[in-house]
């Protein structure tokens, strides 16, 4: 049946255009993250490669464009394509790292809350409720203005924003699992709580997290872009896509549109792909829709 | 000598400690609810009331080595709770539990671990009782592995897995099945895996909570036969929880009938089926459908339904549905009285048999 | 009208085939099932899980959803083939002609509507009674199924009833429009023994009074033997045996039925071991050749693997689909593992 499920997954995937499109976009992004710097025409942070004479060149196919700069250049003469290839890496890695941190913390807290119940549960869930009652942007902005900018601060902010959804989901699944007889059987076998949680509860509450984690990477990329756009995100030395948009935004209405529009399109494509694939996963993994 | 004969001689001749002795077992569950639900007004003053589910209310019985005691009753009668309190899935609220002569009432997790080698459990739902993410060999090996690790044995994992494979073969599966996952098995096969798991520590007592009620009829027979074979082979004692009287009639040496958390009657099997004394037992026996029309003897037809365990009736638990109830039943709670022949009944009619007619 | 020897059947199911087209293959849940039901007759449709008995029940009401489909055969209700009826026509049939009682009353009762509203809707759809008459009929019906203070209880929601009471409400709703056929799918399986016997008594009495025919779908031979006139035994989507209830249970001629009956512990004839059918029901997507019961059958021979047996008279009033039916009238004393 495991094999049937696995092959059914593939079967459904092959019949779902948006799932295939989403997967293709994600695959492209993964390739960019892994190999982007290797194929980039230029290292945009190596000042020796920059030439101010090349500043604000339009994309290559527009009059005045330079074939060396396919998507044009910015005010420092940086190749926009190369900036995007480097920036995508920063954005995606921040999204994935923050997701992993939020997922770990949220899962642990959710397991504890669901398994032990009582005051611990009440405490964790009230903290989660408070967290949910603030807009995530506000929390991130507050943290960033209090602790300053930097990739580590961005990660902390995103983790604080993101753990709640895991904690709630895991707590709910845990409450369901600990009622099941195999958990009782583990007690009768004499297992300690920690072992029961690790060996019996945890593996059975992970499935719904796959969907949440996938979609959250997209959400985090967007939040990070917003933070960077507002100037409280990543430092200027490691520009993410959001920071690229901000940098180009000042000159956007002077007709120099390419410096922010292309990074913007890249974010859009990446998040769109993630969400397409996330929706497919949701339909596949949700037993209630079967 | 069959196991039941052994059991009989054990109870009459040898003064050996029973495998399981339960005295006055009580199990209450506080009902967790919000402040608003608990708020009541008494004499104009607000008061917070905690509701408590009285699941088991002073149940006593014992099981000799090699004996099968069945607890029967309808849903909500507390029979499964008794099983799970003894297996320490719940911590009992009151009473004593002695396993192989050892009072385990105050035992914590660590002290309980060696006791778990003497007592294991088989569960009702063949689908929920096996962890879907564990391989069958690890499922079966788990209780033994805990015991081996407790004793600090070397190669504990390998030994436990070897034992698991042998057990799988004993319960009618084979060694190839050890590496598979539970979803690759049918309900009957899964129940065999659950039985192998319980057997892994070589226990003297197996608590079986409705072990066949989720299975198809033809598979039920396979599992019941297996359980009886294992009892003869290993001298197992069973605490067998069931709602199915025909199954109980087949497997049990002695039967206890529960209603609303009370044990209302207990007797050797044949005596219970031929001469039930408690009105509830009689109603239960006459309500059970049977394929043999000759067995059809409607003695008592019950109306109404079981009262809530949140608010037990005063006096006798069964009086609200009992066709013979009279004033004493509301005033005084009957206790189990020995009526001879190994039969005990908790009913005031024993004292006043002339009232025993509708 | 002429008096015929046999009354015209109310329901005549011919070669019904209901299949489910799933990713992993076609599940022939019902594959060539035929039976007839006379007016007022009570029939038991028995078998283990996977036998297809519930699917037959759902097919009769046109309640098969994709990927399931009635692939072939006829369901003649008074001569009208409802297997091919329009959804519009089926809606008229459900409730008025055929009513259904499910295992879990919560699935057939709407949790956010009062019982009264649900009963009233049934009558509005299927009768032209005015409001007062409808209400009176609902109250009378609830009382007839043993629900006291019926007028008050009409205003209650399903969750305010206990399991047994809920099933009484479901029965009351099923009987409201005076259907000619009731399909009851495991109506008492979820209930306790004492409640089960109350409900069975009630169904038997009420159905006898209304003169409706009933199909009782169940796995429980004991329940069947107390309720029905005639039994149809299903195995892997096919009828394996049919006949009058008493005969089928007392002395079945198909080895499967024999095995089923023998595996029920019998207090009058207690053996150290129960008779058991070896093995398990095969995967219905991958049935053995010939007779589906062959791998588990103690009487199987070479022919059973080659030709699927057809339903034919075996002994007395029994018919079975078996090449080597049990024709001698002695109970088999099998029981050891094959």
Cα nearest neighbour of C147 on chain B? B304
Residues of C in contact with B290 (CB under 8 A): 222, 225-226, 267
Q: List the one residue out of A229, A223, A222 whose CA is nearest residue A244.
A: A229
- Nearest CA to CA, how far is B169 from chain A (Å)? 21
A209-261 pLDDT tens trace: 988 998 999 999 888 888 888 877 777 777 888 888 887 777 777 777 888 88
Q: What CA–CA distances, in Å, run from B85 to A187, A193, A236, B25, B252?
A: 12, 18, 63, 9, 21
What is the model's pLDDT at position C5?
Answer: 52
Q: Which of B130, B142, B181 sits opposite A189 (nearest CB)?
A: B142
C337 burial via Cβ count (<10 Å: 0-12, 13-18, 19+): exposed
**Mutate which: A8, A117, A182, vs B, most B CBs within 10 A:** A182
The tokens describing B88, both together, are 């320490």
Left if phi > 0, otherwise alpha if psi is -120 to 50, otherwise beta: which for C316? left
Distance (Å, whole) CA B73 – CA B272: 14
> Is B89's CB within 8 Å of A187's CB?
yes
Q: What CA–CA distances, in Å, run from B253 to A131, B26, B100, B344, C77?
A: 59, 24, 19, 15, 52
What is the model's pLDDT at position C190?
Answer: 77
Q: What CA–CA distances, in Å, run from A159 to A95, A102, A131, A221, C108?
A: 10, 4, 12, 13, 45
A161-220 pLDDT tens trace: 889 999 999 999 999 999 899 999 999 999 999 999 999 999 999 988 988 998 999 999
Which chains lie within 8 Å of chain B at 3 or more CB pairs, if any?
A: A, C
The tokens describing C175, both together, are 């009987």
Q: Is B110 on the interface with A (CB under 8 A)?
A: no
What is the model's pLDDT at position C334?
Answer: 41
> Is A188's CB within 8 Å of B131's CB?
no
Q: Is B132 on the interface with A (CB under 8 A)?
A: yes
- At B58 the three-state DSSP class reads strand
What is the model's pLDDT at position A102?
Answer: 94
Residue A85 pLDDT class (50, 70, 90 cuts): confident
Rounded to two decimals, the ipTM of the complex is 0.84
Q: Which of C221, C246, C265 sits opposite B249 (nearest CB)?
A: C265
- At C309 the three-state DSSP class reads coil
Distance (Å, whole) CA A108 – CA A163: 10
- At C112 the three-state DSSP class reads coil
The tokens describing A224, both together, are 């990070």
Distance (Å, whole) CA A21 – CA A10: 14
Residues of A in contact with C23 (CB under 8 A): 4, 8, 11
- Nearest CA to CA, how far is A7 from chain C (Å)? 10
Q: List the one residue out of B193, B206, B36, B28 whose CA is nearest residue B116.
A: B206
Q: Which of B217, B228, B243 sits opposite C193 (nearest CB)?
A: B243
What is the model's pLDDT at position A196?
Answer: 94
Which chains lie within 8 Å of chain A at 3 or more CB pairs, if any?
A: B, C
A-to-B residue pairs, Cβ atoms closer than 8 angstroms: 68
The CATH superfamily label for domain B3-118+203-355 reads P-loop containing nucleotide triphosphate hydrolases (3.40.50.300)
What is the model's pLDDT at position B39?
Answer: 67
**Mutate which: A4, A14, A16, vs C, most C CBs within 10 A:** A4
Which contiguous run of DSSP H or E holds residue B26? strand B20-30
Q: List the one residue out of B243, B302, B296 whose CA is nearest residue C222.
A: B296
Over its length of 358 residues, how does chain B's per-residue pLDDT go in tens digits? 444 444 444 444 445 789 999 999 999 988 766 666 666 666 667 777 777 889 999 999 999 999 999 999 988 889 999 999 999 999 999 999 999 999 998 888 889 999 999 999 999 999 899 999 999 999 999 999 999 999 988 899 999 999 999 999 999 998 889 999 998 898 899 999 999 999 999 999 999 999 998 888 888 999 999 999 999 999 999 999 998 888 998 999 999 999 999 999 999 999 999 899 999 999 988 888 777 766 555 567 777 778 888 888 999 999 998 989 899 999 999 999 999 889 999 999 988 888 776 5
Q: Is B188 on the interface with C (CB under 8 A)?
A: yes
Distance (Å, whole) CA C80 – CA C90: 12
Bridge partners for B25 per DSSP: B59
What is the per-residue DSSP string for B79-128? Answer: HHHHHHHHTTSS--SEEEEEETTEE-TT--HHHHHHHTTTEEEE-S-TTT
CATH assignment of A43-271, among 1.20.1250.20, 1.10.3720.10, 1.10.10.10, 3.40.50.1860: 1.10.3720.10
CB distance C297 to C320 below 8 Å: no
User: Per-domain residue ranges for chain A?
Assistant: 43-271
User: Per-domain residue ranges for chain B?
Assistant: 3-118+203-355
DSSP-based helix, strand, coil % in chain B, nearest 5: 35, 20, 40
| Residue numbers of chain C with a pLDDT score lower than 50 | 1-4, 331-338
Which chains lie within 8 Å of chain C at 3 or more CB pairs, if any?
A: A, B
> Is C48's CB within 8 Å of B218's CB?
yes
Cα nearest neighbour of B150 on chain A? A190
Q: Is B327 on the interface with C (CB under 8 A)?
A: no
What is the model's pLDDT at position C336?
Answer: 36
**Mutate which: C20, C24, C27, vs A, most A CBs within 10 A:** C24
Helices (H), C68-112: 87-96, 105-108
């Amino acid at each position: 049946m495991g094999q049937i499920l696995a092959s059914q997954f593939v079967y459904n995937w092959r019949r779902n255009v948006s799932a295939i499109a989403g997967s293709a976009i994600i695959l492209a992004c993964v390739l960019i993250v892994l190999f982007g710097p290797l194929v980039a025409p230029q290292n945009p942070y190596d000042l020796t490669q920059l030439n101010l004479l090349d500043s604000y060149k339009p994309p290559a196919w527009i009059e005045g464009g330079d074939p060396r700069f396919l998507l044009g250049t910015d005010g420092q003469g940086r190749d926009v394509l190369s900036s995007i290839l480097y920036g995508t890496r920063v954005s995606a890695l921040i999204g994935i790292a923050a997701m992993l941190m939020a997922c770990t913390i949220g899962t642990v807290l959710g397991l504890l809350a669901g398994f032990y119940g009582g005051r611990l549960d009440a405490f964790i869930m009230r903290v989660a409720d408070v967290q949910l009652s603030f807009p995530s942007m506000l929390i991130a902005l507050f943290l960033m203005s209090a602790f300053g900018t930097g990739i580590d601060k961005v990660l902390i902010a995103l983790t604080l924003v993101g753990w709640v959804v895991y904690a709630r989901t895991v707590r709910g699944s845990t409450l369901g699992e600990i009622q099941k007889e195999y958990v009782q059987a583990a007690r009768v076998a004499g297992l300690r709580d920690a072992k029961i949680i690790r060996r019996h509860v945890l593996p059975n509450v992970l499935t719904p997290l796959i969907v949440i984690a996938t979609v959250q990477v997209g959400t985090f990329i967007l939040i990070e872009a917003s933070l960077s756009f507002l100037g409280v995100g990543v430092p200027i030395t490691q520009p993410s896509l959001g920071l690229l948009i901000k940098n180009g935004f000042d000159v956007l209405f002077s007709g120099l549109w390419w410096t922010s529009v292309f990074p913007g399109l890249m974010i859009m494509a990446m998040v769109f792909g993630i969400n397409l694939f996330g929706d497919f996963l949701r339909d596949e993994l949700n037993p209630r829709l079967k | 000598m069959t196991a039941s004969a052994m059991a009989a001689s054990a109870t009459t001749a040898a003064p050996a400690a029973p495998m399981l002795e339960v005295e006055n077992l009580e199990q209450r569950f506080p009902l967790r609810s919000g402040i608003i639900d608990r708020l009541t007004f008494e004499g104009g003053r607000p008061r917070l009331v905690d509701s408590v589910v009285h699941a088991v209310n002073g149940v006593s019985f014992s099981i000799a080595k090699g004996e099968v005691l069945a607890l029967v009753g309808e849903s909500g009668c507390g029979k499964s709770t008794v099983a799970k309190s003894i297996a320490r899935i719940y911590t009992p609220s009151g009473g004593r539990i002695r396993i192989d002569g050892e009072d385990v009432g105050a035992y914590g997790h660590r002290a309980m671990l060696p006791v778990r080698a003497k007592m294991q459990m088989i569960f009702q739902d063949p689908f929920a009782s096996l962890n879907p993410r564990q391989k069958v060999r690890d499922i079966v090996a788990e209780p033994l592995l805990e015991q081996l690790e407790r004793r600090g044995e070397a190669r504990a994992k390998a030994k436990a897995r070897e034992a698991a494979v042998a057990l799988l073969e004993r319960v009618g599966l084979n060694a190839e099945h050890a590496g598979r996952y539970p979803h690759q098995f049918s309900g009957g096969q899964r129940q065999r895996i659950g039985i192998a798991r319980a057997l892994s520590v070589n226990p003297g007592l197996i608590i079986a909570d409705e072990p066949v009620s989720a299975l198809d009829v033809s598979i039920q027979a396979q599992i019941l036969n297996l359980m009886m074979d294992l009892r003869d082979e290993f001298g197992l004692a069973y605490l067998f929880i069931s709602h199915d009287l025909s199954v109980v009639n087949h497997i049990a040496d002695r039967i206890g009938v529960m209603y609303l958390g009370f044990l209302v009657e207990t007797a050797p099997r044949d005596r219970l089926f031929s001469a039930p004394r408690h009105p509830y037992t009689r109603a239960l026996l006459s309500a059970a459908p049977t394929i043999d029309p000759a067995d059809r003897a409607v003695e008592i037809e019950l109306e109404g339904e079981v009262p809530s365990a949140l608010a037990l009736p005063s006096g006798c638990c069964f009086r609200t549905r009992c066709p013979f109830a009279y004033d004493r039943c509301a005033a005084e709670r009957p206790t189990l009285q020995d009526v001879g022949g190994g039969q005990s009944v908790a009913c005031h009619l024993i004292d006043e048999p002339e009232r025993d007619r509708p | 009208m002429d008096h015929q020897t046999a009354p015209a059947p109310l329901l005549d199911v011919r070669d019904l085939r209901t299949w489910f087209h799933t990713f992993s293959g076609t599940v022939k849940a019902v594959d060539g099932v035929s039976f007839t039901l006379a007016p007022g007759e009570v029939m038991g449709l028995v078998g283990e899980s996977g036998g297809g008995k519930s699917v037959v029940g759902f097919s009769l009401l046109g309640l098969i959803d994709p990927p399931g489909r009635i692939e072939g055969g006829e369901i003649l209700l008074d001569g009208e083939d409802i297997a091919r009826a329009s959804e519009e026509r089926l809606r008229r049939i459900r409730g008025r002609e055929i009513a259904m009682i499910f295992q879990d009353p919560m699935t057939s009762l709407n949790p956010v509507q009062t019982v009264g509203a649900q009963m009233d809707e049934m009558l509005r759809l299927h009768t032209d009674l005015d409001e007062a008459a409808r209400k009176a009929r609902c109250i009378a019906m609830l009382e007839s199924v043993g629900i006291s203070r019926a007028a008050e209880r009409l205003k209650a929601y399903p969750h305010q009833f206990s399991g047994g009471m809920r099933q009484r409400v479901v029965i009351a709703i099923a009987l409201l429009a005076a259907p000619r056929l009731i399909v009851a799918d495991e109506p008492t399986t979820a209930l306790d023994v004492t409640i089960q016997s109350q409900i069975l008594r009630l169904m038997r009495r009420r159905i006898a009074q209304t003169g409706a025919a009933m199909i009782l779908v169940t796995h429980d031979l004991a329940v069947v033997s107390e309720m029905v006139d005639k039994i149809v035994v299903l195995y892997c989507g096919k009828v394996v045996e049919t006949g009058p209830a008493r005969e089928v249970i007392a002395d079945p001629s198909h080895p499967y039925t024999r095995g089923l009956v023998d595996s029920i512990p019998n207090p009058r004839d207690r053996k150290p071991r129960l008779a058991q059918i070896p093995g398990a029901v095969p995967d219905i997507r991958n049935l053995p050749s010939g007779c589906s019961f062959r791998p588990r059958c103690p009487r199987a021979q070479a022919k059973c693997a080659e030709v699927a047996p057809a339903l034919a008279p075996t002994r007395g009033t029994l018919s079975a689909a078996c090449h080597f039916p049990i024709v001698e009238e002695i109970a088999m004393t099998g029981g050891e593992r094959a």
